């Protein structure tokens, strides 16, 4: 399935606590059934906030680079030019302007869902939005509530 | 042990001269890195191990992941606004 990943899910791959939740995040990241994408501009934002992220995570420059390196291998970062024609539709659909690029990307490539912990993204009916637990359950239907 | 010869352009050789650097060591480290990157790109298990190793020393919480996510999204919106798209 085609999944657009929100920025918060990328950071969730390297959180220190919440082991069960983090394991589910990594399961999704490395699932053969999931093709992840995200706006390319998100990479630039990660780089722009490098110092702050390093300070709060405790990562060295090399560790931050390793984090970005793995993200680039798992996530298809798509330049705005490739979904620019969906920006207007995304503006009408997205409950908040901050999330326009995610919606435009999902609309352009007919993604199955946006993966995000932000409940506000569900306040529309055009694009399915699933949080980590919901997406994990969809990928592991035999696993019950765990 | 294998030996590797590298051709260095004259101009670069001049710039290298006098620098207190062990170029053999630099070349060896670059090759090791490239080999690791090659393995990494082909192995999901290794990629996952890298993220798990990073997480094991990370101080990030679920809340800070959300905070960084929101900050990144705000930055993306600012850029869209600068371009007259939002």
Q: What is the pLDDT of residues B40-79, one digit of tens each?
A: 999 999 999 999 999 888 888 888 888 899 999 999 999 9
Q: How confident is the model at residue A144 (pLDDT cuts 50, 70, 90)?
A: low
Candidate from A14, A39, A117 with C-beta closest to B54: A14
Please give the tally of structural domains in chain B.
Answer: 1
Q: Report the range of poorest mean pLDDT among A17-21, A47-51, A80-84, A123-127.
A: A17-21
Task: Let me know if residue B4 belongs to a domain.
Answer: no
Task: Let me know if residue B48 belongs to a domain.
Answer: no
Statement: residue A18 has pLDDT above 80:
no
* Pair A36, A71: CB distance under 8 Å: no
Question: What's the pLDDT score for residue A19?
Answer: 64
Burial B7-43 (b: 16+ CB within 10 A, else e): eeeeeeeeeeeeeeeeeeeeeeeeeeeeeeeeebeee
Candidate from B54, B64, B75 with C-beta closest to A63: B54
Statement: residue A20 has pLDDT above 70:
yes
- Closest to A36 in 3D by CA, of A129, A97, A113: A113
Q: Report the range of poorest mean pLDDT among A14-23, A29-38, A44-53, A66-75.
A: A14-23
Closest chain B C-alpha to A142 CA, distance in angstroms: 23
Range of the domain at B72: 60-86
Condensed to tens digits (0 to 9), the pLDDT of residues B28-41 reads 999 998 999 899 99
Nearest CA in chain A to B72: A45
B77 at interface of A, judged by CB pairs closer than 8 A: yes
């Amino acid at each position: 399935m085609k999944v657009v990943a929100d920025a918060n899910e990328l950071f969730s791959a390297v959180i220190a606590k919440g082991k069960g939740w983090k394991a589910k995040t990594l399961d999704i990241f490395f699932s053969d059934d999931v093709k992840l994408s995200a706006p390319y501009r998100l990479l630039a934002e990660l780089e722009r906030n490098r110092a702050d992220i390093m300070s709060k995570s405790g990562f060295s420059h090399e560790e931050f680079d390793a984090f970005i390196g793995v993200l680039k291998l798992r996530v298809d970062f798509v330049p705005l030019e490739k979904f620019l024609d969906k920006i207007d539709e995304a503006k009408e659909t997205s409950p908040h302007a901050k999330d326009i690029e995610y919606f435009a990307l999902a609309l352009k490539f007919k993604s199955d869902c946006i993966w995000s912990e932000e409940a506000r993204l569900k306040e529309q009916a055009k694009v399915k939005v699933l949080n980590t637990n919901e997406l994990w359950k969809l990928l592991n239907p035999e696993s019950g509530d765990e | 042990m294998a030996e590797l010869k590298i051709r260095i352009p004259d101009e670069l050789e001049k710039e290298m001269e006098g620098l207190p650097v062990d170029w053999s060591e630099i070349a060896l480290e670059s090759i090791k890195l490239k080999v690791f990157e090659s393995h990494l790109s082909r192995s999901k298990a290794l990629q996952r191990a890298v993220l798990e190793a990073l997480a094991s020393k990370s101080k990030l919480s679920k809340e800070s992941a959300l905070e960084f996510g929101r900050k990144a999204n705000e930055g993306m919106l600012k850029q869209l606004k600068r371009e007259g798209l939002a």
